[in-house]
Amino acid sequence: MEKLVIEGGVPLKGEVVVSGAKNAVLPILAATLLTDEPCIIKGAPFLRDTNTMLKILRSLGKECAFHHGAIAVESTGEHSFVADYKLVSTMRASFCVLGPLIAKLKKAKVSLPGGCVIGVRPVDLHLKGVKHLGVDIDINGGYVFAKAKHLRGAQIYLGGEFGSSVLATDNVMMTAVLAKGKTIIESAACEPEVTDLAEFLIKMGAKIKGHGTPTIEIEGVKELHGAEHKIIPDRIEAGTLIIASLITRGNITLKNVHIGHQGALLNKLQEIGAIIKKDGDRLNVTAKRKLEPVNITTLPYPGFPTDMQAQMMSLMAVTPGISIITEKIYQDRFMHVAELNRMGARIQREGPHAIIEGVKSLSGAAVMASDLRASASLVLAGLVAKGKSAVSRIYHLERGYENFDEKLRKLGARVWREKE
């Protein structure tokens, strides 16, 4: 096991390319289960989570080859409907194989999912959605057993306690594409990653309208064929690198950015004093001499993304004044607060709110990552802290950021790996 050691105090400068989106590639890979024909997924990020999904696909009867950012998926001709606990328990997104297995094989046995420990994330909306399509569900021994003689279109409301669900929308959409008749998903997730999945399904022959809005209409077809698709840029990686520039008072240019996916984040960053210049798929980020505090509430897209909450907290920790972050998506997504405070931050949690009193500087310390985005926030804090910081459990970071330490070094950061 390795840790990331960071010597802070270096303003980041230069250019870096943003990788393909983790949260888009995983359901798109799952969607290849809907056809026996070959599929090619381009721009795929080389991540722990990507490799986990490829292992799951291989266990379900697919041959997968990953070469220079492109993944080729073909059928072996031997289909399995069982997604095993040993794989699914390590990554929540792997639960999205449920929909394609039901649609293609009319049965599935999928382990209840695992992943980051950031709060209760039940699968009730997934199951509610596929039940409306004619699927019988039984939960036993930590597995979801699903079967359906005939899938039929339906009108499905997918709103939950904390808004719409991205993975539930993905699962229901992938089930409905091979159901007889029309399906209407109301309160569907509007995230760009859902839209990217829909675009891939359309290339495979699905009939989908309204993706990117709260109402998605799907007209079922008899079968899907193979397709080629390029993954959208990762808006969360882009956001993390933007904050890396601001927190170090650097000057970096990001390439391969979908500017339209960054609205809420860029709006808040400009509010605090970021200077952002846009040019096609390029984004240059610098900061005014003095940044201002800000209040943020995480919301489903197009609101401020919960996946950027931890990184924003690191920036606010060294921004003068009082900032307040309210987390409305995942109730326990504050695991990084204690670790940031170990570095000298002044952050107090009050229920779903984090009250941040900006300090002049942070101090390097040994800290421990608890989840994917928390690990990114600790790396960002280490970039600006005085002295050395050591972030352990960086396997969390590797789940969602492709060669992140290499990209930071390219920008001038003093960061390297050491054995624990």
Which are the catalytic amino acids? Answer: 116
* Whole-angstrom distance, CA of residue 95 vs CA of residue 116: 14
CA dihedral 36, 168, 400, 367 (to 10 degrees): -150
Q: Which amino acid is at 13?
A: K
In order, the DSSP letters of 303-321 are SB-GGGHHHHHHHHHTSSS
Q: Which amino acid is at 359?
A: V
* Whole-angstrom distance, CA of residue 234 vs CA of residue 324: 26
* Whole-angstrom distance, CA of residue 387 vs CA of residue 385: 6
Element of type H or E holding 259: none
Q: Is the distance from CB of 359 to CB of 344 less than 8 angstroms?
A: yes
What does the DSSP 8-state code read for residue 214? S
Q: Is 227 helix (H, G, I), strand (E, B) or coil?
A: coil
CA gyration radius, the chain = 21
In order, the DSSP letters of 75-129 are E-S----EE-HHHHTT-GGGGGGHHHHHHHHSEEEEEPP----SS----HHHHHH
Separation in Å, CA 239 to CA 20, 30, 264, 308, 373: 13, 26, 11, 7, 11
* Whole-angstrom distance, CA of residue 245 vs CA of residue 288: 12
As beta bridge partners, residue 140 has: 143
Element of type H or E holding 276: strand 274-279
Q: Are strands 274-279 and 182-186 parallel, antiparallel or unpaired?
A: unpaired
**Span between the terminal Cα atoms of the chain, in Å:** 6
Instruction: Count CA atoms within 13 Å of residue 417 on its CB side.
Output: 12
As beta bridge partners, residue 82 has: 109
